[in-house]
Amino acid sequence: MVSERMNDGEPERSVPGRQSVNKPIYVTQPFLPPLEEFIPYLERIWEKKILTNNGPFHQELEQALCEYLGVRHVALFANGTLALVTALQALRITGEVITTPYSFVATAHSLLWNAIKPVFVDIDADTLNLDPERIEAAITPHVTAIMPVHCYGRPCDVDAIQRIADNYNLRVIYDAAHSFGVQDGNGSLLSHGDLSVLSFHATKVFNTFEGGAIVCPDAKTKQRIDHLKNFGFVDEVTVVAAGINGKMNEVSAAFGLLQLRHMEAALTARKRIDSRYRELLDGVPGIRCLANSAATVSNYAYFPILVDPEYAISRDALYQNLRDNGIYARRYFYPLISEFPMYRGLPSASLDNLPVATAISRKILCLPIYPALISAEVEYIVDLIRKGAGVET
């Protein structure tokens, strides 16, 4: 029996004898505000009959996100992948782009959709993001940009990446799919580089069912992006680029506006779960939580642990054991992108070139984290992990 309400207060009950297989716990569960709060938004859509194409909710959400995130311009998209593809088009990126193998496939797929060759560079063992020290050696005459990922919402070394980009005249497009609301010492993490791309997929901290956005620093770039996401149309008779249909619809935009009203409570609940896991997992032999990141404000989008060889069973045995008990943790990101068939022939995809990413992908396990997860469920999950480690609970 699982409480469906948002866990923004103290846990209400324990789950002894939990009916584990009947009630699976997934790695995430989308936050859905009370349905009745969404009805007035739908009524407005029914009344105006504007369903898409830069409608009133779309415009309102772009403005609201600029304010909430503390950024200058936001262009909404139907999903994060189309936003990545369009970001590359907007900056006219060609040739080769340096990127991380340790991400969701959409990062590198967006390059292939633009006929760009990915150049994979290994990650740093602490940030789990592109290792700036390895970027320079990978720059060829064809490299025109860097596409780093703030994996799990943990900031990249943005200063080092920018220094390299400036030295070699490269553009930087951050895949910030996991980084909604994250801040570093300079404010929004999304302000770094030339562009940042967000995902508002159902599994993300902030969701619009499906959705995404490009964050950009100036109005001119935003205008080009807006043209590109609407087939290249400037007006009824003018098409300036071979654009795509990447627009967010009004129902999703309205849902985003409602979701924003609940963000603080959702983030507070996530933070509490993160702390509880850290407390309970402390001292379990062979289980490592990631150290705190450089973020000054985190979003607790994921709860990754590393299963080291000192743990009693393998990472995959633990993953299976949790599944057998109804806990659907996920191995984000295993396999590496560079191991998939469309990438593994690239010279930069060789495992010898990516020792850190390879090792991490074999140890990583993301535990469930979402606002409705109650403390008793966190305890249940950790009990299973401790039992796997042979620790008396």
- Interface with ligand T4K by CB under 6 A: which residues? 26-30, 79-81, 103-104, 106-107, 149, 175, 177-178, 199, 201-203, 212, 328, 330, 332
- Residue 59 tokens read as 């415009």
- Residue 7 tokens read as 């866990």
**What is the smallest separation between the CB atom of 111 and ligand T4K, expressed in angstroms?**
12
* Rounded Cα distance, 388 and 309, in Å: 13
* Rounded Cα distance, 263 and 267, in Å: 6
Residue with Cβ nearer ligand T4K (172 or 389): 172
SS3 75: strand
**What is the smallest separation between the CB atom of 192 and ligand T4K, expressed in angstroms?**
16
* Nearest residue to 99 via CA among 348, 361, 335, 362: 348
Residue with Cβ nearer ligand T4K (308 or 324): 324
Task: Say which DSSP state 95 is in.
Answer: S
For residue 143, what are the β-bridge partners? Answer: 96
The residue to which tokens 């309102």 are assigned: 60
What's the CA dihedral at 287, 106, 372, 274 to 10 degrees? 30
**What is the smallest separation between the CB atom of 176 and ligand T4K, expressed in angstroms?**
8
Residue with Cβ nearer ligand T4K (28 or 230): 28
- Residue 53 tokens read as 């194409």
Residue with Cβ nearer ligand T4K (377 or 386): 377
**What is the smallest separation between the CB atom of 252 and ligand T4K, expressed in angstroms?**
11
Q: What values do phi and psi take at 140, rounded to 5? A: -110, 170
Residue with Cβ nearer ligand T4K (142 or 328): 328
Nearest residue to ligand T4K, by Cβ distance, number only: 80
Do 131 and 121 contact (CB within 8 A), yes or no? yes
**What is the smallest separation between the CB atom of 29 and ligand T4K, expressed in angstroms?**
5
Radius of gyration (C-alpha) of the chain in whole angstroms: 21
**What is the smallest separation between the CB atom of 110 and ligand T4K, expressed in angstroms?**
8
Residue with Cβ nearer ligand T4K (161 or 284): 161
